[in-house]
Structure 1
Amino acid sequence: MKVTIAVFLRAMFLISTALMVYDYIKIEQYFIQMERGIIDGFEVYISPFYGNLFAVVSVLFLLANIIQLIVVKRNKNAEVKSFLTFEYDVTDERTVDITRKSVSYAFAVLLIYSLIVIGSYMFIPNYFLDYPWYPIFATASIPIVGLITYLISFKVHQYK
């Protein structure tokens, strides 16, 4: 359950950041279109939802890490320096081994997927004007795919 929560919070953190950046890029797109004479003017409404979502997810992520640090400090068998994230119990050797395997699978998928995503930028040469959402969300999807791969491989190895 900890792994699922950790992956969900990290993915929401990346998505909320991408949504905030998209609002900014959309406004920049309007300025470029106005400068080139494509449009005469524009109206802007920036929703506070994305910033609030980012703040809530950041606080939840920080709280989860603080709680895990307190739990690790209270455990006499665990070393505090071995605390990395709240995804697994540092005292359980089996979980540490599962995490190592899951990270290696996620890294392999991440390398392949990032090459595909970066290569796809060649096919959209005017993406800033026509598709401003594509590079933002495609770039944000790279770590999210790695996190989902990590979660799936962790769960598969956990129930072996």
Structure 2
Amino acid sequence: MRMYITVLLRCLLYVSLALMVYDYVRIDMYFEMMGRGYIDEFSVYVSTWRGTFCLIVAILLVVINIIDFIVVKKNKHAHMKEYILTEYDVADERAVVVTGKAVRFAFVFILFYTFLLIGSYMFIPNYFLDYPWYPIFTTASIPVFGLIIYLVTFKYFHAK
């Protein structure tokens, strides 16, 4: 359960950061379009919920990491290097092998997925003003999908 919460919070942190960056880029895009003469005026409403959501998720993630740090520190048989991955179960002997397999699968997916996304950027350079969300959200999707692949493969190999 702890792993699901941690991965969910990490994914939400990337998504909320992408949403905050999108607001900034959208406003910058309007200024660029006005400077090029495409539009004469524009109005913008910037909502604060994206920043608040990002802050809440970041605080929750930090609190959970501090709790995990304290739990690992109290376990006399655990090493501090085991704290690096909060998903890592120090009580399970198979966790080293399972974590290694899950990390390898996630890494291969990230390499392949990143290659495809960067390749897709060459098809839209003229449309960055019209679609500023594309590079932001596709870039944010790299760690999100990597974490999801890690979670799925970890649970799959752990169940075996």
Give the TM-score range, shorter chain: over 0.9
How far the C-alpha of 1:89 sits from its partner, in A, is 1.6
Q: Is contact 2:82–2:88 with CA below 8 Å preserved after alignment?
A: no
Question: Alpha-carbon deviations, 1:74-97, whole Å to 9, x = none?
Answer: 111112243213212224221122
Runs of 4+ aligned structure 1 residues displaced above 6 Å come to none
One-letter code of the match for 1:145?
A: F
Match of 1:105 in 2: 105
One-letter code of the match for 2:4?
A: T
Report the 3-state secondary structure (helix = DSSP H, G, I; strand = E; otherwise coil) of the residue aligned with 2:40.
coil
Match of 2:133 in 1: 133
One-letter code of the match for 1:62?
A: V
Q: Is contact 1:22–1:132 with CA below 8 Å preserved after alignment?
A: yes
Question: Alpha-carbon deviations, 1:18-74, whole Å to 9, x = none?
Answer: 000000000000001100111111111111010001000000100110000000111
TM-score of the aligned structures, taking structure 1 as reference length? 0.96
One-letter code of the match for 1:136?
A: I
Q: Residues of 1 paired with 2:63 and 2:119: CA distance?
A: 37
Q: Which aligned pairs between 1:1-160 and structure 2 lie closer than 5 A? A: 1-160=1-160
Point out where structure 1 has 5 or more consecutive residues left out of the alignment.
none
Q: Is contact 1:69–1:83 with CA below 8 Å preserved after alignment?
A: yes
Q: Is contact 2:82–2:90 with CA below 8 Å preserved after alignment?
A: yes
Q: Is contact 1:65–1:85 with CA below 8 Å preserved after alignment?
A: no
One-letter code of the match for 1:75?
A: N
Percent of aligned positions with the same letter in both sequences? 54
Q: Residues of 1 paired with 2:85 and 2:46: CA distance?
A: 34
Report the 3-state secondary structure (helix = DSSP H, G, I; strand = E; otherwise coil) of the residue aligned with 1:130.
coil
Quote the RMSD (CA, aligned, Å): 1.0
Q: How many residues align?
A: 160
Q: Is contact 1:121–1:135 with CA below 8 Å preserved after alignment?
A: yes
Q: Residues of 2 paired with 1:150 and 1:76: CA distance?
A: 28
Q: Residues of 2 paired with 1:81 and 1:25: CA distance?
A: 39
